[in-house]
Amino acid sequence: MKEFLLIFRRDLVTTTAQQSPAEMQDMLKPWQDWMGSLAARQALANPGNRLSNDGRVVKSGNLVTNGPYVEIKEGIGGYIIVRAASIDEATELAKGCPIMLIGGNVEVRAVVPMDSNG
Amino acid sequence: MQEQGLIPHLFRTEYSKIIAVLCKAFGMEYIALAEDIASDTFLQAAETWGMKGLPANPVAWLYAVAKNKAIDAIKRNALFTKKIAPELIQSTEINCEPEIDLSGQNIIDSQLQMMFAICHPSIPAEAQVGLCLNLLCGFGADEVADAFLTNRETIYKRLARAKEKLKSEHIILCLPAASEINNRLARVLTALYLLFSEGYYSSSQNATVRKELCVEAMRLTHMLVDNEQTSTPQSNALLALMCFHSSRFEARINEEGDQILYHEQDERLWNTELISHGEFYMCQASKGNEVSKFHLEAAIAFWHTQKTDTPEKWDNILQLYNRLLITEYSPAAALNRTYALAKANGIQEAIKEAELLKLDGNHLYHALLGDLYSNIDYAKAITHLTKAAGLAKNAAEKNLILKKAAAINTGNPSKAQEYLIKS
C-alpha cells in the first residue's frame, strides 16, 4: 500500500462563496461520515488537518504578503493522507469528498517514501 | 457462608493479596516462593479448619499463617543473607524480621504495583491478561484456560514463561515515576479492557465465568480510579465503559447462556445503578480535553443504555464510531459503524459502504450484510447468512445466525432485521 496526500481546495476569497456558521455546521456531518467511511476501510493513514483562512506567504527577499490568494481565489482548506494501492484507487477515494458539495476540488498526490528517489 | 464454600471463596479474594504483599516484600524474583507460601497457607487452612472448626476471623487467620510462613522461609532460605542483610547493614535500626505488612493499605498498594509489573513492556501482551487473572484475581491455570477457551498446557506454559520474565527482568513492585505513568498506565488499561471484553464478548458458554471476568476487570479498574496517581481521565472513561456495558449483562444472556439481541432485551433487567455509576465516572473522565478510545467507547455504550430508537441517537452513535475508527481501526468498530450508518443514514447507503469493507472472511460481516439485505433482497440475505453460519466460530453464534435465516425464510424479517453485533 502507498500513501497519497489529498489536498482540499476551495474559493477562499469571493464573499458569496464563504459559508455561514450554520452552513459550516451542516457540512460537519458529511465530513465526519466521509472520514469515518475511509477509516472503516482502513484507507485513512492520517486524518490531517483543517486550515484557517488566515495566512502569510514569504517570498524571496523576505517579502511577506497576506494570504496565498493574490493571483488566484482558490486556497488550501485542509488535507488528509490516505492509503491506497495505486493513484487510481486513491482518486476513487477522493470522489466522495464533501469539498465538492461547496464547489471545491481535491488534488491527489503520491507521497514519495523517504528511501525512494521518486 | 457455608464452611465448604468458604475456602474457595477466600482463595479467590485473598490468595492474590497475599501474593502481591509477599512479592513486594521479597522482590519479584521470589514470585515462586510467594506462590508456594500462599498455596501452603490455604492447604493448612483446609486441614486445620476441617478438624478444629472455623477460626473467629478466617481472613486474619490466613494472614497470620502466611506471615509466619513467610518469616520462616526468609530465615530458612539464603534469601535472608542475599536480599535482606545488605539492607539491614545500611539501616540504623536492627530488625531481624522483614516487614510482611498485610494491612489493607499495603494490600491495595501492592496489588496496584503488581498491575504495573504484569503490564511491564517486557511481558508479551497476550500473557498480560492471563497473568492478571492468575496473580491478581486468584484464577488457577485451569480457570484461565477455561476463560480463554485454550488448553491448560498452553496457558500453563504461557504463564510460566511470563513469570520467568518477571524474575529475569528484575521488575520491582512500585508505581512508575510521574514522567512515565501515562505510558505505563496505557498498557495496564489495555490489559484490563481486554480482560473485560473477554468476559463480555467471550464465546465461552459459561455465563458464570464470563461474569466473573467482568467483575474482576471492574474491581481492578476501580483500584486505579481510587488512587490519585492512576485516576486519570482514561482510567475513569474505561470504568464508565465497563459500568455501561455490564448494566446490560443480565439482559443479554438467557438462562441457556444464549445471547439476546439488543432490541429484544428486556430493559427492566438493565441495572440502573450501574448506569448511574457509569455516568458518574464519565463526568470524572471529562475533566480535561482528552478524548481517548475509551472515552468514545464509553459514550457509545452510554447511548446503548438509552432504549429510545431515535435518528438522533443513531447519528450520535455513528459520529462516535467515525471518531473511534479515525483514532484506531478495528473490524468490530467498522462493522458496528455500518450498522449505525444503516440506522442513521439509511440501509442503501450502509449496504454500499459495507461492500467496501473487505472483511469477507469475517462471519459478523456476513451476518451484518444478511441483516441489511433482509428487507430488500431475500436471496442475498440468505446467501450472506449461510456464509456467516459457515464461518461462525462456535455453536452458539452459528445458532443465532441460523435463527435469523429462519426468521427471514418464514417471512418475518423484522425479527431478524435489527441486529447489533455488540448487542
Distance from C-alpha of B13 to C-alpha of B59, rounded to nearest angstrom: 10
Percentage of residues in chain B having pLDDT higher than 70: 89
Distance from C-alpha of B275 to C-alpha of B303, rounded to nearest angstrom: 11
Q: What is the mean pLDDT of each run of 10 residues along chain A (118 residues)?
A: 95 83 90 97 96 87 77 86 97 96 95 77
- Residue A69, pLDDT score: 64
Amino acid in the structure at residue A115: D
**B297 or B151, greater pLDDT:** B297
Q: What average pLDDT is seen over chain B? A: 86
- Residue B78, pLDDT score: 60
Q: Is residue A58 part of a domain?
A: no
- Residue B418, pLDDT score: 45
Q: Of chain B residues 313-372, which have a CB less than 8 A from chain A?
A: 315, 318-319, 321-323, 325-326, 329, 333-334, 337-338, 341, 345, 353, 356-358
- Residue B2, pLDDT score: 55
- Here the CATH number for the domain that contains residue A81 is 3.30.70.1060
Each residue's pLDDT tens digit, B98-138: 678 899 999 999 999 999 999 999 998 888 999 999 999 98
A26 touches chain B (CB under 8 A): no
CATH 1.25.40, chain B: domain bounds: 337-423
Instruction: List the CATH code of the domain at B337-423.
Output: 1.25.40
Each residue's pLDDT tens digit, B151-176: 888 889 999 999 999 988 888 888 99
Distance from C-alpha of B241 to C-alpha of B235, rounded to nearest angstrom: 10
| Domain tally, chain A | 1
Secondary structure, 3-state, chain A: CEEEEEEEEEECCCHHHCCCHHHHHHHHHHHHHHHHHHHHCCCEEEEEEECCCCCEEEECCCEEEECCCCCCCEEEEEEEEEEECCHHHHHHHHCCCHHHHHCCEEEEEECCCCCCCC
- Residue B76, pLDDT score: 78
Q: Is residue A2 part of a domain?
A: yes
Distance from C-alpha of B353 to C-alpha of B337, rounded to nearest angstrom: 10
Contacts of A39 in chain B (CB under 8 A): 322, 325-326, 329, 334
Contacts of A41 in chain B (CB under 8 A): 334, 356-358
Vertex A106 angle, CA B354 and A7, to 5°: 105
Q: What is the mean pLDDT of residues B51-65?
A: 93
Its domain, for residue A89, covers 1-15+42-52+70-112
Each residue's pLDDT tens digit, B116-126: 999 999 998 88
- Residue B345, pLDDT score: 95
| pLDDT above 60: residue B420 | no
| Residues B132/B191, Cβ–Cβ less than 8 Å | yes
Out of B321, B345, B358, closest to residue A41 by CB: B358
Identify which of B232, B26, B20 has the alpha carbon closest to the alpha carbon of residue B115.
Answer: B20
